[in-house]
Structure 1
């Protein structure tokens, strides 16, 4: 079975916005996950913030609005939500830096991440039906949120590092899926994304 754009997010009407949203998610997630994994210094968060606003946040929100116009409920919900997550993250860190809030309680931050993990868990069900690469994106993102949340709650560097590596894997599969959709839009079936589960032939 050839892997085309239709195999990833459903019926195509005009240009497919999904690669933009996936790239915005992937490359913002890569950078923050490198920090969480301890691969680059925590001071790199100052670079994450503008990227989170412009690419992880704004680009995904725009993608979500386009997915809504295309009638894609999954794409609309996913891109709008994760675009909002990056806006939430950037504002949270910015408010703390500007002393708009007195502190960021680690337990509250941890539970916020776990709540995003719960959202990701049920969105994973939809991702399973889309493609294998999107399935793996949401699987590792779910693991990243829960592990990072636990790391924040228990002040565990090891869990935070593990969550960073899960985030890197989620970003890797998101970037691959973005790449595949772009290339397959020009020459269908060139880059495989793997079959989704429970899909009708």
Structure 2
């Protein structure tokens, strides 16, 4: 009897994609940050991606483990960076220092992008657009430019939507046994 593991990538991609879309609707200037974005960041962007990463470990997929677990922890740290100062337990990070935080995530993502060279075009796009997003957000925080922040927001919506699309393409492929959506 064959023991087959489910593909955890759609869970991780959806956790990343939906949360990224919502946060970047905020970055684009449509809504203030609120409990909905923070809850999505904590649970779906954070915990769900960590679960997907652990499942990738079980499958022996170092790339999936590193990507999903790291980005899940990114979402948890981002939520804490936003919420902790509101509790009075810590000072907010200065914008310039947040720029370095986002820049380092951009460098990490660039190296992860290099690991997608053999992957699907949509996966490559997710990582390339995420690299651009982190760099735009870093520049926004270093310069204080609202225009760059708005551009980053729209770019982030596209990035999140590409991960959402890839997740659904993989689910439909698994359910139908053939590619329904190209990826």
Cα distance in structure 1, aligned partners of 2:118 and 2:160: 19
2:151 maps to 1:162: yes
Stretches of structure 2 lacking an aligned partner (at least 5 in a row): none
* Kept after mapping to 1: 8 A contact 2:16/2:45: yes
* Aligned residue number for residue 36 of structure 1: 27
Cα distance in structure 1, aligned partners of 2:12 and 2:142: 30
* Aligned residue number for residue 198 of structure 1: none
* Secondary structure of 2:52's aligned partner: helix
* Aligned residue number for residue 119 of structure 2: 130
Cα distance in structure 1, aligned partners of 2:34 and 2:142: 20
- TM-score, structure 1 as length reference: 0.86
* Kept after mapping to 2: 8 A contact 1:30/1:171: yes
- Between 44-53 and 60-69, the greater mean CA deviation after superposition: 44-53
Kindly state the Cα deviation for residue 189 of structure 1 after the two structures are TM-superposed: 2.0
Deviation per CA, 1:46-93: give whole Å up to 9, x if none. 321111111000000000000001000110000000000000000111
1:80 to 64, 69, 82: 69
Matches within 5 A, 1:6-155: 13-38=4-29, 40-42=30-32, 44-155=33-144
- TM-score, structure 2 as length reference: 0.95
* Kept after mapping to 1: 8 A contact 2:136/2:148: yes
Cα distance in structure 1, aligned partners of 2:62 and 2:78: 24
Stretches of structure 1 lacking an aligned partner (at least 5 in a row): 1-12, 194-201
Cα distance in structure 1, aligned partners of 2:52 and 2:37: 20
* Kept after mapping to 1: 8 A contact 2:169/2:179: no
Deviation >3 Å, runs of 4+: none
